[in-house]
């Protein structure tokens, strides 16, 4: 039997501690895994593109556990009442190849993305950051807000979305949290939202080379958390922002980010730093208060590995946890057919002597 976390399951698991503490715990797991970057089998995700979107598989392994995530990205889905991104994933035991956990990752991806954004900002944003602009107020925006508020001490969130209903929804959800020291400002434009922000998070979904942020909007010392540009042809930053002489660009896994991140707009030799190098001390996340730091985030398989292992731990603390019969258990592993024996219609005739020789001893062929 395989442990199973569906939507009801993730509601139960996150509900025990609340999203803020869940994301804080998850960020610690992600950080611990990025600190042993060299142990992971890394590859750019496998993507199949169609006119309406992309479906991706993101596998990785550290030699002990294996994980993969299935995730789609279909920007036009919201118009028909569907999610832009849905996801699920599996954690498996490398020694036997058996899956251990199947989990929803639609909600969990939003939680892990916000945890990762905040983790990166801890190393990259100015420590005195208190104001964040949030451009794109869709499905992931509450998660980013809560994570940055609780884990980084951001007090003011300046919201903007081309869809005013999305902004209202975000403000309503944040209001309902009842946090005293969380201030929300609704803005007229992306430019208004960004003005005066210490951190700018872009979370837009359009599948095109959009220009959500232009060079004139960026001030020295800002940290840009660019989340929405995450596949070929889908970017949010004007490339001149990346080219600023005072800009520092950090990516998760360079080979994947070259084709999926904001840096797809630049030559392949444009200098970037992998986040693991920041954690190891090989490179700074920020070298001065005046630098413009850019976390060119696309989401890497290691983060889902961390999330699945974290969920597996939390799931097993529940008694009883929910399981599904995805993998058979057999008394004799060579008798897979035994599972179907009961379901095989027997022919009415009994086997003739000719049909089957006695099994007693191995006989020579005739």
Is the separation of the CB atoms in 223 and 117 below 8 Å? no
Nearer to a second copy, 189 or 288 (CB): 189
| Min dist. Cβ of residue 239 to a second copy (A) | 27
Q: Which of residues 133-152 bind a second copy (CB under 8 A)?
A: 137-143
Of 40-48, 118-126, 249-257, 281-289, which segment contacts a second copy by CB under 8 A? 40-48
- Token digits for 231? 């596949």
**Min separation Cβ 4 and a second copy, Å:** 7
Footprint (CB under 8 A) of a second copy, residues 172-211: 172-188, 192-193, 195-196
- Interaction of residue 50 with a second copy, rule CB under 8 A: yes
Q: Does 255 bind a second copy (CB under 8 A)?
A: no
Binding mask 211-230 for a second copy (x = CB under 8 A): --------------------
Q: Which two tokens stand for residue 317?
A: 């603390």
Please report, in angstroms and rounded to a whole number, the separation of the first and last CA atoms in the chain.
45
Helix (H, G, I), strand (E, B) or coil at 193: helix
Q: For this structure, is 192 an active site residue?
A: no
Instruction: Give CA–CA dist 167/135, Å, rounded.
Output: 9
**Helix 7-17 and helix 301-316, axial crossing angle in degrees, nearest 10:** 80
Burial category of 283 from C-beta neighbours within 10 Å (exposed 0-12, middle 13-18, buried 19 and up): middle
CB 136, CB 190: distance < 8 Å: no
Q: In this chain, which of 27, 73, 250, 312 binds a second copy, going by CB under 8 A?
A: 73
CA distance 199 to 125: 7
What x-and-dash track marks residues 1-20 binding a second copy by CB under 8 A? Answer: ---x-xxx-xxx-xx--xx-
Provide the 10 A C-beta neighbour count for residue 139.
20
Of 25 and 239, nearer to a second copy (C-beta) is 25
Distance separating alpha carbons of residues 6 and 107, to the nearest angstrom: 10
Contact 90, 99 (CB under 8 A): yes
Taking CB under 8 A as the rule, does residue 38 contact a second copy?
no
Chain-centroid distance, C-alpha 268: 25
x/- map, 103-132, a second copy, by CB under 8 A: -x-xx--x----------------------
Residue of 28, 171, 210, 283 that binds a second copy (CB under 8 A): 171
Size of the site for a second copy (CB under 8 A): 127
> Catalytic one among 33, 230, 296, 304?
230
Residue 185 contacts residue 175 (beta carbons within 8 Å): no
Residues 272-331 that bind a second copy (CB under 8 A): 324-328, 330-331
Site for a second copy in 334-363 (CB under 8 A): 334-347, 349-352, 354-357, 359, 362-363
The catalytic residue positions are 230
């Amino acid at each position: 039997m395989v442990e199973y976390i569906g939507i009801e399951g993730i509601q139960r698991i996150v509900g025990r501690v609340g999203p803020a503490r869940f994301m804080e715990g998850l960020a610690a797991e992600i950080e611990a895994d990025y600190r042993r970057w060299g142990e992971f089998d890394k590859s750019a995700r496998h993507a199949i593109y169609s006119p309406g979107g992309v479906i991706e598989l993101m596998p990785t392994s550290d030699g002990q556990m294996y994980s993969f995530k299935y995730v789609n990205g279909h920007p036009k889905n919201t118009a028909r009442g569907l999610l832009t991104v849905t996801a699920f994933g599996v954690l498996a035991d490398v020694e036997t190849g058996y899956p251990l956990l199947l989990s929803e990752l639609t909600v969990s991806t939003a939680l892990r993305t916000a945890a990762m954004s905040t983790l990166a900002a801890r190393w990259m944003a100015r420590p005195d950051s208190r104001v964040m602009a949030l451009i794109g107020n869709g499905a992931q925006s509450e998660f980013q807000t809560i994570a940055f508020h609780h884990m980084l001490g951001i007090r003011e969130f300046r919201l903007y979305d081309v869809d005013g209903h999305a902004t209202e929804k975000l403000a309503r959800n944040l209001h309902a949290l009842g946090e005293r020291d969380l201030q929300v400002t609704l803005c007229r434009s992306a430019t208004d939202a960004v003005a005066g922000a210490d951190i700018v998070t872009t979370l837009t979904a359009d599948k095109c080379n959009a220009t959500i942020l232009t060079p004139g909007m960026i001030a020295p010392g800002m940290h840009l958390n660019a989340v929405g540009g995450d596949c070929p042809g889908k970017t949010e930053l004007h490339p001149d922002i990346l080219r600023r002489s005072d800009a520092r660009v950090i990516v998760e896994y360079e080979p994947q980010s070259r084709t999926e991140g904001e840096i797809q707009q630049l030559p392949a030799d444009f200098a970037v730093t992998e986040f693991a190098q920041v954690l190891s001390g090989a490179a700074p996340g920020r070298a001065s208060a005046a630098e413009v730091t850019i976390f060119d985030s696309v989401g890497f398989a290691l983060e889902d590995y961390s999330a699945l292992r974290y969920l597996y731990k939390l799931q097993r603390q529940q008694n009883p946890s929910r399981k599904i019969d995805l993998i058979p258990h057999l008394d004799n592993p060579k008798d897979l057919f035994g599972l179907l024996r009961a379901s095989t219609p027997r022919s009415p005739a009994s086997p003739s002597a000719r049909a089957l020789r006695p099994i007693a001893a191995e006989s020579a062929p005739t």
